[in-house]
Amino acid sequence: MAKIPGTGGAKGNTSGRGQRDLKVRVKTAKGRKMSSKLWLERQLNDPYVARAKREGYRGRAAYKILELDDKYRFLVPGARIVDLGCAPGGWCQVAVARVNALGEKSGKAVGRVLGVDLQEVDTIAGAEIHVLDFLEDGADDKVKAWLGGRADVVMSDMAASSSGHKNTDHMRIVALVEAAAQLAFDVLEPGGTFVAKVLAGGAESDMQAMLKRNFTKVANVKPPASRSDSSEKFVVATGFRGRPDPEIETGGEL
């Protein structure tokens, strides 16, 4: 696991103050729901939120892809990246720097970063952002046209809208990951990587089997930046085997 800079040694370094003095507390305003109060309090006390503001990332999620890449090394200079559901843009920011999309690393290959989302996303230097529903017919062809070829990495931090029902939400995000994987099969180069967020649960066995058929290695990881009370994890599938020839799959009958 990647070590988190800036947090080591924080515990106990209280300058004589009580530990509780280090925690920001939020008073419950009249009319504010307790859930909103708890969310705001968690945000104010989250070291990743503070670090993201300090380092210019658009959200704490940037550190999840940073930590995954520190371990699996798929965001390499010269790589072509597709970020599905890219808003607000933190994963694109990380990818731009690591694949050298701006050409700032002398002597290193220059990569490309393509982000797509259902909504408009503020411009990110070094990334090309498009409004696109990746579930629509022909989305894979649009992605390849924009990218100028196939991708080396397809990644997704998408989550379906929460219903408040754990099992329903789990099944929804598994379905979303399966759909993202299908697009990845259409746009990835052989040897490519697929990275996606899922929620831990019991409905992803078919998805895992599908990924194992199409990639040489599939890992399930919870990076340090994922909150300990969250059921999210990430699948990192490497070594894409390539799209099977449909003639072979159907015995020559199309």
Domain ranges of the chain: 30-59, 61-249
Q: Strands across the sheet with 127-131, in order?
A: 127-131, 112-117, 80-84, 151-156, 188-199, 232-240, 215-221
Residue 14 pLDDT: 35
| Angle, helix 47-55 to helix 62-72, in steps of 10 degrees | 90
CA-nearest of 171, 181, 172 to 82 is: 181
Residue 132 pLDDT: 97
Residues identified as active-site: 197
Helix H or strand E segment including 192: strand 188-199
Q: What are phi and psi for residue 9, nearest 5 degrees?
A: 80, 0
pTM for the whole structure: 0.78
CATH 3.40.50.150, domain 61-249, yes or no: yes
Residue 114 pLDDT: 98
Quickly count: other Cβ atoms within 10 Å of residue 48's Cβ: 21
Query: How is residue 251 written in tokens?
Result: 């015995």
Q: What are phi and psi for residue 95, nearest 5 degrees?
A: -60, -40
Query: How is residue 86 written in tokens?
Result: 């890219």
Q: What are phi and psi for residue 216, nearest 5 degrees?
A: -75, -25
Query: How is residue 130 written in tokens?
Result: 């498009």
* Residues tagged in the binding site annotation for S-adenosyl-L-methionine: 89, 91, 117, 133, 157
Tally of CA atoms within 13 A in the half-sphere of 134 that contains its CB: 28
Beta bridge partners, 235, equal 196, 220
Residue 50 pLDDT: 85
Q: What is the pLDDT along the chain (254 residues), one digit of tens a residue?
A: 443 333 333 333 333 323 333 333 434 445 456 555 544 545 555 688 888 899 989 999 999 999 999 999 999 999 999 999 999 999 999 999 999 999 999 999 999 999 999 999 999 999 999 999 999 999 999 999 999 999 999 999 998 766 677 777 778 889 999 999 999 999 999 999 999 999 877 668 899 999 999 999 999 999 999 988 788 999 999 999 997 554 434 344 44
Residue 204 pLDDT: 81
Contacts 24+ apart (CB under 8 A), 26-29: none
